[in-house]
Structure 1
Amino acid sequence: MAAVSMSLEDQLAAFLHLLLPPLVREVNDPTAPLALKTLATEVTDLMKRSVGVETFTAAYTRAQQVLSQRKVERRVQRAQELLTNPVKTARVKIQKHMKKRTAKKRRLMQDKQVGFKRRKAS
C-alpha cells in the first residue's frame, strides 16, 4: 500500500476511501501482531504527509465509522438470526463448539509429542 500511495501521490486523496479500511482495522486490532501494527502505522503516516492532515483525518475518521457501523450491523443480524431461525443458530453454535474441541485435542496431541505437560490451574 505504501508503494501504491507513493505512485498515486497527487491522486491519493481520491483513493483514500479504498486504502484506509484495512489499515484502520490493523491499527485498531488488539490481536494483530506488533510488526503488522507498526507497518500499518508507518503507511498511515506516509499517507498523512502525502495528502495533508485535514484530508487524511477526515477520511480516517470516516473509515473508522464505516467499520464500526458494519460491526454493529453484523451483531444485529446475528441477534435477528437467533430469533428468526433458532435451529440454524443452534447448528452453528454446535459446529463452533466442535471446532474448539478438535483444536484442543490437536494442541494436546502436539504437546504430548513434544513431551510438554500443561499445569493444572490452581
Structure 2
Amino acid sequence: MSGNNCRKGVHSARVMTRARLLLLSDGGLLDRDVAERQGVSPATVASIRRKYTEGGLKAALYEKARPKRPPKLNAQQTAILIAEVCSSPEGREKWTMQLLADRLVTLGVVDRTGSR
C-alpha cells in the first residue's frame, strides 16, 4: 500500500484499519494495546490476525461477500413507512423504531412478525 493510495481514498476505511492492526501486531504489540490504539476490541485484533494466519493478507484485509437478504418491505410498504416517518407521531416528539413497527402493524402493512 503506497501512501498515495491512502491520500486518494482508494481503500476503504475498514481495509485500512485492518492493515494498521496487522502492522501494529507485527511490531510486537499485544492485542489489547493494538486494540486501544486503533479503537477496536481485542477480539477484533485477534480475529484479523487469525484470518491472516489462516488465509493470508487478502483474507485478513477483505471480507468475503455475504449473501444478500431480501428486503423486509416491498416498494409500496416502504412508501407507507416513509410517509409515516415524515408525519408526527401522536403524543410523541419523534418516531422510535418500535413506534414505527407498531404503526405498520396497526395500518395492516405488516403482521406482528414483520412479514405480509
TM-score by length of 2: 0.29
The structure whose residues are more often helix, as a share, is: 1
Q: Bigger relative contact order, structure 1 or 2, given CA contacts below 8 A and separation 6+?
A: 1
